[in-house]
Amino acid sequence: MAEIRVGLFGVGNCCSALVQAVALYGRSGGGQSPGLIHPEVGGYKPSDIRFVAAFDIASRKIGKDLSDAILSPPNDAPRICQVQALGVKVVKGPVLDGVGAFSKDALEIDALPAVDVAEELRRSRAQVVVNLTPSGAVKATEFYASDALQAACGFVNATPNRVASRRAWGKRFREAKLPIAGDDLMDQIGSTILHRAIFETLDRRGVHVDKSYALDVGGGAENLNALDRDRNVLKRRIKAASITSSLPYSVPVTAGTTDYVEFLRNERTSYLWIEGRFLAGTPVVIDVKMTCADAPNAVNLLLDAIRAVKLGLDRGLGGPLIEVSAYGFKSPPKPMTEAKALARFNAFARRR
């Protein structure tokens, strides 16, 4: 298979884990590794991904090779392998609304002017771009989506800032014959997917859910940004809606980050609580605690989405990739149950 040329909008912890994973699987020759969901997607392996462009606004990352920038503070994602120099220099993107009230003190914005993003993407011959800007950075997300269109790139929107699920943006990508997948990337094993799985099991077993919450604390940049409730009200709403979509009836659910704990660094602890009733109204309470590193949790779904969007380009598809979005994202244009979304994604990957 041909290589997949990828541009990155945002060089934070998620980006760090992604770049390290691609380097690790590249050395293995094919991507076979415990924990990898799809060693191949339509013939593409993780080792086929090549990073060709990267944009950020932090002075400690601008001008560095991507392999060094992913390790620059405030990044603190776990080190899973050493990344050799990639020959990709991180360049300055537009600031816009990419810095929140709680994250500005941890981030020194570079004084250089922003580059012409669309031109940089064209120069690097990027094919697929991944939006990893912070939650609440609506203007930055829309700017990058527009420049991706100008540069004729497929788009993966990992953020909750709506693009793939908005009709107007879907139309623009459809008319340009460019694929897009999003919005709001799910973790491989995060509180949302675990919560949905529990809900689906309870529903199959005839248990009625009365109320529930999914709350978490962590020390990563995403948890810090989440303290700004005005910027993250959409993410909280999306998370709750994604959880409840697995039930055929409405139920009150509260979901989101409750606090930022600096010493946890890139670790996140999630608390799931569910109250329901089974035979003759007998009460049942489920209380779950889960702790894991945050950044690596996003890698599997990103690897799948990148390869699927490249397949969309290969096939001349334009607009939202419905199967891919439902499989890998919390707020897709068309939600599906987990089992149906996975089956549809696998069918999409096998299609010739």
| Tokens read off for 30 | 């094919």
> Looking at the whole model, is its pTM more than 0.75?
yes
Separation in Å, CA 139 to CA 83, 134, 187, 221? 32, 11, 24, 19
Percent of the chain past pLDDT 90, that is, above it, reads 81
Q: In this predicted model, what pLDDT tens digit does every residue of 240-260 receive, in sequence order?
A: 999 999 999 999 999 988 888
Query: Using CA atoms, how far apart are residues 187 and 297, in angstroms rounded to an integer?
Result: 5
- Separation CA 272–CA 300 (nearest Å): 23
What does DSSP assign to residue 314?
A: H
Report the 10 Å Cβ neighbour count for 63: 14
Residue type, 347: A
Selection from 334, 339, 301 nearest residue 164 by Cα: 334
Q: Does the pLDDT at position 150 exceed 80?
A: yes
In which band, very low, low, confident or very high, does the pLDDT at 136 lie, cut at 50, 70 and 90? confident
Cα(94)–Cα(92) distance, rounded to whole angstroms? 7
- Alpha carbon dihedral 333, 334, 336, 340, in 10-degree steps, equals -100
Residues 336/169, Cβ–Cβ less than 8 Å: no
For the domain bounded by 4-186+297-350, which CATH number is listed?
A: 3.40.50.720
pLDDT tens digits, residue range 164-177?
999 999 999 999 99
Asked whether 340 and 325 are in contact (CB, 8 A), the reply is no
Q: pLDDT by residue (tens digit) across 120-130?
A: 999 999 999 99
Burial class (CB in 10 A: 0-12, 13-18, 19+), 151: buried
Query: pLDDT band for position 297 (50/70/90)?
Result: very high
Q: Decide if 4-186+297-350 and 191-293 have a common fold.
A: no
Domain ranges of the chain: 4-186+297-350, 191-293
> Residue 10 pLDDT > 60, yes or no?
yes
What would be the CATH architecture of the domain defined by 191-293?
2-Layer Sandwich (3.30)
CB atoms within 10 A of CB 64: 18
Give per-residue pLDDT as tens, 13-43. Answer: 999 999 999 999 887 655 456 778 999 999 9
